[in-house]
């Protein structure tokens, strides 16, 4: 009997076709949420999810036949990985699939911020011609500090190689880096904070990284620093960020991720907090789309397919 796989989020057809060709019976249903999944999970040998599904211990226990869980993209905070391993369920993700997309998006955000592109665009559309007020700042000669040198951190660093920047990085766990990053200086966190004009965050969400960027972190940064976060929203304490932007300690921010990414669920306090953030002209914001390209949709699917087929054959 064919093993059954449930896919709960939008994927490129290459993943469905590949699993089908490998003998799996695939159910592709993007309407499945956590509640529905609880009722049907015991039917499936494999599960492929994105961020809306939370695979905690209780839900993993419902997957009595599960052989693997596939995560489209990178973030494994939605899966209790250790418990899954204890249950002999393999966990696969595909951060390689959208790391280039994230890196390109971050470069675009930084260029928009430092050259006042969004402000100037809106002013020109209103027949306002402010050349001097929109004088930009060049990346050349600046120090960029990258915190987290996984797939996206490496991809972003590689994008910086021709820009004549001083690139430094800190990663608590990674000791070896690709030869393409010989120009990057590996250092400690204090050095990154005290020397960087731009701090770029590329971290998973863990108990160690949750609210890493808080008042204390910001106080240790170089004055007028730019904070860029395309990793996970809860790595940054939004209130502390707003405070730093208000005092000028932080001169700008590029944010693709947020503590709460569901505006319809905002509390009164959150509406006020995000309203303040969104009104700040020195902030560039996008709705968690850095890794959301047409190309990455296919590449994420291909990477995950390859890992699943290789992993379950062992």
Catalytic residues: 232, 261, 288
Helix (H, G, I), strand (E, B) or coil at 175: coil
> Please, which residues have CB within 8 angstroms of residue 143's CB and are 6 or more apart in sequence?
165, 166, 167, 168, 195, 196, 197, 198
Owner of token pair 């490129």:
12
In whole angstroms, give the CA distance from residue 147 to residue 189. Answer: 8
Q: What is the CA radius of gyration of the chain?
A: 21
Cβ of 232: how many Cβ atoms within 10 Å? 22
Owner of token pair 């994008």:
159
Residue 90, judged by CB atoms within 10 A of its CB (0-12, 13-18, 19+), counts as middle
> Please, which residues have CB within 8 angstroms of residue 242's CB and are 6 or more apart in sequence?
273, 276, 277, 280
């Amino acid at each position: 009997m064919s093993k059954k796989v449930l896919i709960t989020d939008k994927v490129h057809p290459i993943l469905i076709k590949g699993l089908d060709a490998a003998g799996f019976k695939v159910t592709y249903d993007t309407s499945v949420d956590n509640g529905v999944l609880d009722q049907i999970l015991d039917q499936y040998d494999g599960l492929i999810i994105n961020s809306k599904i939370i695979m905690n211990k209780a839900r993993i226990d419902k997957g009595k036949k599960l052989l693997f869980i596939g995560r489209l993209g990178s973030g494994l905070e939605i899966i209790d990985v250790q418990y899954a391993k204890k249950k002999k369920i393999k966990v696969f993700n595909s951060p390689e699939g959208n790391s280039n997309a994230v890196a390109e998006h971050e470069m675009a955000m930084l260029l928009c911020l430092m050259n006042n592109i969004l402000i100037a665009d809106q002013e020109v559309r209103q027949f306002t011609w402010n050349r001097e007020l929109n004088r930009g700042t060049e990346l050349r000669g600046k120090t960029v500090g990258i915190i987290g040198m996984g797939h996206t951190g490496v991809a972003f660093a590689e994008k910086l190689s021709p820009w004549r920047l001083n690139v430094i990085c800190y990663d608590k766990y990674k000791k070896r880096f690709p030869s393409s990053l010989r120009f990057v200086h590996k250092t400690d966190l204090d050095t990154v904070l005290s020397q960087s004009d731009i701090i770029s965050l590329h971290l998973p969400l863990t108990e160690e990284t949750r609210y890493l960027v808080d008042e204390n972190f910001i106080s240790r940064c170089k004055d007028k620093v730019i904070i860029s976060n395309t990793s996970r929203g809860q790595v940054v304490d939004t209130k502390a960020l707003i405070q730093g932007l208000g005092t000028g300690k932080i001169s700008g921010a590029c944010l693709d991720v947020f503590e709460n990414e569901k505006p319809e669920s905002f509390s009164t306090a959150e509406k006020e907090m995000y309203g303040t953030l969104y009104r700040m002209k020195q902030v560039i914001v996008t709705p968690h789309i850095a890794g959301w390209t047409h190309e990455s949709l296919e590449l994420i699917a291909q990477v995950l397919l390859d890992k699943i087929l290789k992993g379950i054959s062992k």
